[in-house]
Structure 1
Amino acid sequence: MRRLIPDPVFVLSPPRSGSTLLRSVLDSHSRIHAPHELHLTLLAVEERSWAAGEHSDRYASIALGEIGLTLAEAEHLLWDRVLHHELTRSGKQLIVNKTTDNVLNWRRIAECWPGARYLFLFRNPAHIADSLARAWAHRPDIDTVARTKMFVTAMDAARAALPGHDIRYEDLTARPETTVRALCEFLGVPWEPDMLEYGRFDHGTYVRGIGDWSDTIRSGVIQPPRPAPVAVSEELRSACAAWGYPEQATR
């Protein structure tokens, strides 16, 4: 089905992997719009009854079926329209959507946009779990190691099925120019040095719920990563090794 945005770019990453930094750098490009988290897959089309107390009718599904749509396909139209609205509002040519839950919903995204491209953003899983624990220190009920493993599993499945470009958070922060130059080449846009000075541009408000809200991202300066934790959970050692962090796999 025709899309208003036929080839959007999606960042797939676990939380606390530097995706807000990446989107801020990309949004600093004159041709790229990378907005805050849009949570597209949380926008749903709901079928309601025609009148109170009537629970058996499916009039909306019947009507959609007559025009060749399912409820899921109607949701896809909604998501596409939101992206188109945002890109049009920006006045730019290419949209990059960064939302943490994208990687958990990659199958629906790929179904909606067969022509989409993907940026796979990796970070040391031990560091992800440590950062999650600090960010959610007020929520002791959240198992940050289990959450990290869930996203690692989803990332592996998405990367095995979808075309894309790999980026490591550690490279983005330690070698930003080399990393972003390669990213621009993948996206088919010219390299712009000002991208690395993302604090010079307006990227909207950094608030909880639509991206990173820390003082680090608010600084407007790419900063080196924290050292990875000395102690690594046994449950994350295999993920560290598989993602190219062997030094963490033995700690």
Structure 2
Amino acid sequence: MAQAVGPPRRNLAALPAPRAADGSRAGDGYVAPRAPRLVDSPVFVLSCVRSGSTLLRVLLNSHSSIRAPHEMHLRTLHVHLSRGFTADAMRALELDKEELEHTLWDRVMHLELARSGKRIIVDKTPPNTLIWPRLHRCWPNARWIVLLRHPGAVVASLTDRRTDPDPEQIRAEVLDYGVRLEEARRTLDAHVMTYEDLTADPERATRGLCAYLDVPWESAMLDYGKKDHGTFRPQLGDWSPTIRSGRIQPARPAGPKAELPPRLAELAKKWGYPVG
């Protein structure tokens, strides 16, 4: 980084740029190169909330080669550069705040994978859908599973789950997820599947997944109740009696009178769902 020349009060233009709250320079434009990853090709499930991602994760976690833990929430795991000179020190090491967070996320992934003794790790946190471009920057070799569900069924499920549901807010939330899912579906070389197909024919659906992940299919995946998947609890995934039953149960269909805003209805049609 260039140093100020001469008395600071006489050469204001040469002073370092103001610092942001995290210690980075405002407007310096520095972008750190990508550091080597411990986990080169993690798998991310991209889905809206209430779309069956917990069922998918326990099916995957039942495979002898796949570790699919509870929601990892990497996007809310941040690095704070608490002193003004910290950003300068990190830049000298070819790091910035974003790349520091990426290396932390990668370390968490690697630690969980090493503990499991398996070779593939899957993160199914639904809000990852909202930041998939950043995950792609972090892991260019990541693999992606796009899990779709009829938006009307998602709206109904969220409405039933919440104590004081706000219909307008719920539809807006589902639309936000839907837009990002469609971006990912059209952009990434992803394995696309639906919750409805997963529950209707789980063997066929999981065989397709295993082919995408380049692992042999295992019948034990369909009997996930016999495996230990950790505690089912709020904010780490679905915790309903349905998932805790240990059995794959039929997907709840969208109501025939489900009202969707035009953009959400358009997405549903693109995904092959009937819209009334």
Global fold match (TM > 0.5): yes
1:44/1:141 CA distance change after superposition, 3 Å: farther
Map 1:128-147; keep pairs closer than 5 Å. 128-140=154-166, 143-147=169-173
CA displacement, residues 11-49 of structure 1 (integer Å, 9 cap, x when unaligned): 000001100000000000001000000000100001213
**1:11 maps onto 2:37 in alignment:** no
1:20 aligns with 2:54: yes
Report % sequence identity. Answer: 47
SS at match of 1:177: helix
Q: Deviations over 1:57-100 (max 9, x none)?
A: x2111000001001100000000000001001111111011101
* 1:76-225 map, 5 Å: 76-140=102-166, 143-225=169-251
Q: Which residue of 2 aligns with 1:48?
A: 82
Q: 1:225 to 1:193 in 2, by over 3 A?
A: same
- Structure 1 counterpart of 2:135, one-letter code: I
Unaligned runs of 5+ in 2: 1-34
> What CA deviation, in whole Å up to 9, does each residue of 1:188-224 have, x standing for no partner?
1001001000000000011010100100000000001
Q: CA deviation at 1:239?
A: 2.2
> What is residue 37 of structure 1 aligned with on the other side?
71
Segments of 5+ residues of structure 1 without an aligned counterpart are: 50-57
1:238 equivalenced with 2:272 (yes/no)? no
Once the two structures are TM-superposed, the CA of residue 241 in structure 1 deviates from its matched residue by: 1.1
Please report the TM-score for the alignment, with normalisation by the length of structure 1: 0.93
Quote the RMSD (CA, aligned, Å).
1.2
- 8 Å contact 2:225–2:246 — kept in the other structure? yes
Q: 1:135 & 1:82 partners in 2: Cα distance?
A: 31
Q: Which amino acid aligns with 1:119?
A: I
Displacement of 1:161 after TM fit? 1.9
Deviation at 1:141? 8.2
Q: Kindly provide the amino acid, as one letter, of the partner of residue 259 in structure 2.
A: S
Aligned length: 240
Aligned to 1:53: none
Q: In the aligned structure 1, how far is the partner of 2:129 from the partner of 2:260?
A: 24
Deviations 1:124-157 (A, max 9, x none): 0100111111112345487111111000001011
Q: Which has the higher contact order (CA 8 A, sep 6+)?
A: 1
**TM-score of the pair, normalised by structure 2:** 0.84
Distance 1:141 1:74 in 2: 39
The 10-residue stretch of structure 1 (15-24 or 232-241) with the greater mean CA deviation from structure 2: 232-241
1:143 partner SS: helix
